[in-house]
Amino acid sequence: MVEPTVSAGYVNSLLKVVAARGADQGALLARAGIDAEALAKPDTRVPFARFKTLMRAAKEMLGDPALALHFGESSPFDEMSIVGLVCMAAETMGHAFEQMNRYARLVVEVEGHESGDRFAIVPAGGGLCWLEDRRKNPNDFPELTESTWARFVAPYEKFFPGRPHYVKAVHMPHAQPAYRAEYDRIFKMPVIFESERNALLITEGWLAEPTRSGNPYVFGIFSERAAALLKSLEDSKTLTGRIERLLIPILHTGDLGMDAVAKRMGLSRATLYRKLREEGTRYEDLLDDLRHRMALHYLDGRKVSVNQAAYLVGFSDPSVFSRAFKRWTGKSPAQRNAG
């Protein structure tokens, strides 16, 4: 798969926790190779490998081997991602679970679940079921297991005072760590280590429980935004998406030949041609469509003049741009800009 990523909002949530404990954020970001400017927008993507480095550097800097548990315990889901806001606005816990599964990749991408569900509900008998995390090789980064289950369990009593806790036991696939006491403090229930499951044992009726603040109107707004972000993330994983990201900063140069793009991507022209055909497109069509969309972006709202738009999408001759624009839209760029 293309390199997994996490959202900048997720990274910022960890930084907030470690900063409150006195860690030097700049030094941590430098060790992880993360540019602070890349974290300005919460939906920007950061390589998962760099997040792992950040987490482990923070554990070392703070002398806190249980940092991942503390991160999960003290970082509410709705404050790190729009996915949490979607879940909070759902009507029932089961509905919230479905949304979390649908949009989980917007928070953290994991190997093996590029398109399928990461979490699953499996009957366990006796009025109980398993809430399983099915990501591959969880022991490669047990910190994600710790923070995930701590975030599921720890805030429940705060958000739902008076309700019996839906989780009855926590099953961890990794070995028991030296800081077992922190598990007991945070989970307050049986924790089984070296389990065959990476899962919570939960009450079957939990899925039908109402959420704290279900709101169909708010849910619609947030879920629409989350769906757009998910489509953007999925598009970025295709070869087409990668080429578009490469082309946008250099469109204005006009140096957009297929050979040059293939070289930048470390591919031969023939390989690039074949891979694009597998995605159902040709390089010439991809470039033409990108120029079309970027021209509309520049001209809508009169952001720039027609001549400036022509330059920005790689046309040295405005008359050639005008002919292309009329082919795309049926109108001249001047008519579009005036409207």
Q: What pLDDT is recorded for position 60?
A: 97
Round to whole Å and give the CA distance between 190 and 184: 8
Which pLDDT tens digits describe the chain residue by residue (339 residues)?
Answer: 467 899 999 999 999 999 999 999 999 999 999 999 889 888 889 999 999 999 999 999 999 999 999 999 999 888 888 888 888 888 899 999 999 988 998 999 987 666 678 999 999 999 999 999 999 999 999 999 999 999 999 988 888 888 899 999 999 999 999 999 999 999 999 999 999 999 999 999 998 998 877 778 777 887 888 888 777 777 777 888 888 878 887 888 888 899 988 988 888 999 999 999 988 899 999 999 989 988 888 887 666 788 888 888 899 888 999 999 999 999 888 877 665
Q: What pLDDT is recorded for position 1?
A: 46
Topology of the domain covering 5-217: H-NOX domain (3.90.1520)
**Confidence (pTM):** 0.70
Q: What pLDDT is recorded for position 339?
A: 54
Sign of CA dihedral 139, 144, 148, 151: positive
Closest alpha carbon to 258 in 238, 230, 284, 232: 284
For 336, residues 6+ apart whose C-beta sits below 8 A from its C-beta are 296, 299, 300, 325, 329
Domain ranges for the chain, please list them: 5-217, 238-338
Q: How many CB atoms lie within 10 A of CB 21?
A: 13
The reply to whether 238-338 shares the fold of 5-217 is no
Closest alpha carbon to 72 in 214, 160, 182: 182
What is the separation, in whole angstroms, between the first and last Cα of the chain? 44
CATH architecture of 238-338: Orthogonal Bundle (1.10)
